[in-house]
Amino acid sequence: MGAGATVHVEEGPLDFAVILLDVAGATADHHHIAKTLRMLMDQSRASASEILRRFSTAPAVEEHITPPVDVQHTQLLINGQFVDAASGMTFPTLDPRTGDVIAHVAEGDAEDVNRAVAAARKAFDEGPWPRMTAYERSRILLRFADLMETHNDEIAALETWDNGKPYEQSANIEVPMVTRLMRYYAGWADKIHGLVVPADGPHHVQVLHEPIGVVGQIIPWNFPLLMFGWKIGPALACGNTIVLKTAEQTPLSALYVSKLLHEAGLPEGVLNIISGFGPTAGAAIASHMEVDKGQCCSAGSRTFVHERVYDEFVEKAKARALKRVVGDPFKHGVEQGPQIDEEQFGKILGYIKSGIDSGATLQAGGDRFGSKGYFIQPTVFSDVKDEMKIAQEEIFGPVQSILKFSDLNEVIRRANASPYGLAAGIFSNNMDAVNTLMRALKAGSVFVNCFDVFDAAIPFGGYKMSGHGRDKGIHSLKNYLQIKAVVTALKNPAWL
């Protein structure tokens, strides 16, 4: 997880502006902050009435909406059955709007991981999943996508309740994205094939692509269901079996949809889900000798702006932050919900204090929002220097740092000085600048005149310390396939 850069070069009312966004972990909050930059550019051409129409200034209401969904599954999923943890222990998953307990979830540990891996190993070595036709695997994934579409609103409500992101984002964007992703990988299942390659001599040479086996997967809390889809989609399409650990903060949506996947026809033991903590369950998966493969996010936090338009941009960023609607994510029009839990809430406030103490200018926000729950005011800093903590580290919260630069070579050097390189964005009408920046920025994704565009076919991953391999697209299939060369001697071949 890490940072990249987003760049905007604009001609016209703002003369010449370049905006670079460091990408450091995507909360729902940062997802919207990235989009804010595009909106700011539009505001210079929008009328005051249009701005007022688009952005409400109404404060959050303390009375929260009751989520329209029941929590049905809180146990571990092992060998197709929901079961208690071997220890009998549970842990609470909390509503970040209030800090209240939503449900108590089974707490898996090494013994449960052993049970799950044994089930996944048996399902791979003896079960039907890797042996059925690829077309049948495709049909099961398509049926799963249909069921997700049918239950879209319940899944979205559970995701928002457990995670805190706006319900409209969950229901209208993220759950449909997972549904689309499942259909995408269902389409790939029967199109994975090898090669016949020529050799020097009388030999028939095949290069085969085969499933790896038991795959260990660990997903984060910022996009629980989306990351679930990114991981299981290609792994299942290739014929693997899975042991997956959910984030302890957000275990509910993966358990819910896994039931739908079994309703679609997934055989027992193919997908196993362990809820629990990193040092116990996560470490057990990562170090398990029977797991054949052990195991995102992008959002803008650094904003580089050209010195000629710096002051104007800071004022627009401040104005937009002050109009940003924070509150109950189940309410219509809310753009920013609460942070995931008290630990993350405190961490973000610590970064804000660090920014103030290091001499950055606090333009907006800087404190909690409301009196209950884990809400933080949209926060904007100007006069940020590269060496400051808020410009160097991953904040994972609604904090924007605005830095000043004078020319492209300077800003390229400063952006690439980060050890991270997940995503970047360029906003520009100057294609010469775009062509320079899109090649120069060391990031796995570069968005031009847009940001955070996620399609099932677009690969996602980073440079440097921002991860290995790619999620989504054809490239993700390579993560879950191994290559076998088969060489057969030919006697009196008709041709080579």
Q: What is the CATH number of the domain that holds 216?
A: 3.40.605.10
Q: In this predicted model, what pLDDT tens digit does every residue of 153-209 receive, in sequence order?
A: 999 999 999 999 999 999 999 999 999 999 999 999 999 988 999 888 898 888 889
Is there a domain that residue 331 lies in? Answer: no
Q: In this predicted model, what pLDDT tens digit does every residue of 40-55 receive, in sequence order?
A: 444 433 333 333 333 3
Total count of domains within the chain: 2
CA atoms of 105 and 310, how far apart (whole Å): 49
Q: Is residue 300 predicted with pLDDT exceeding 90?
A: no
Residues 49 and 102 in one domain: no
pTM to 2 decimal places? 0.79
Q: Which of 59-63, 175-179, 207-211, 446-450 has the weakest average pLDDT? A: 59-63
Q: Assign 280 a pLDDT band (cuts: 50, 70, 90).
A: very high
Q: What pLDDT sits at residue 102? A: 97
CA atoms of 94 and 92, how far apart (whole Å): 6
Residues 89 and 220 in one domain: yes
Q: What pLDDT sits at residue 384? A: 95
The proportion of the chain whose per-residue pLDDT surpasses 70, expressed as a percent, equals 86
CA atoms of 276 and 286, how far apart (whole Å): 14
Q: Assign 15 a pLDDT band (cuts: 50, 70, 90).
A: very low
Q: Which residue has the higher pLDDT, 160 or 13?
A: 160
Residues 23 and 121 in one domain: no
Q: What pLDDT sits at residue 51? A: 33
Is there a domain that residue 457 lies in? Answer: no
Which amino acid is residue 206, in one-letter code? Q
Q: Name the average pLDDT for the chain.
A: 85
Residues 46 and 80 in one domain: no
CA atoms of 33 and 425, how far apart (whole Å): 13
Is there a domain that residue 479 lies in? Answer: no
Residues 81 and 159 in one domain: yes
Mean pLDDT of 466-483: 82
CA atoms of 414 and 200, how far apart (whole Å): 51
Per DSSP, 478 falls in state G
Segments in 21-107 forming alpha helices (H)? 28-43, 48-54
CATH of the domain at 378: 3.40.309.10
Domain span at 158: 76-197+210-296
Q: Which of 59-73, 251-265, 390-404, 458-472 has the weakest average pLDDT? A: 458-472
400 with 33: CB under 8 angstroms?
yes
Apex 97 CA angle, 219 and 364, nearest 5: 95
Strand-pairing partners, residue 423, are 445
Largest CA distance in the chain: 84
Residues 288 and 190 in one domain: yes
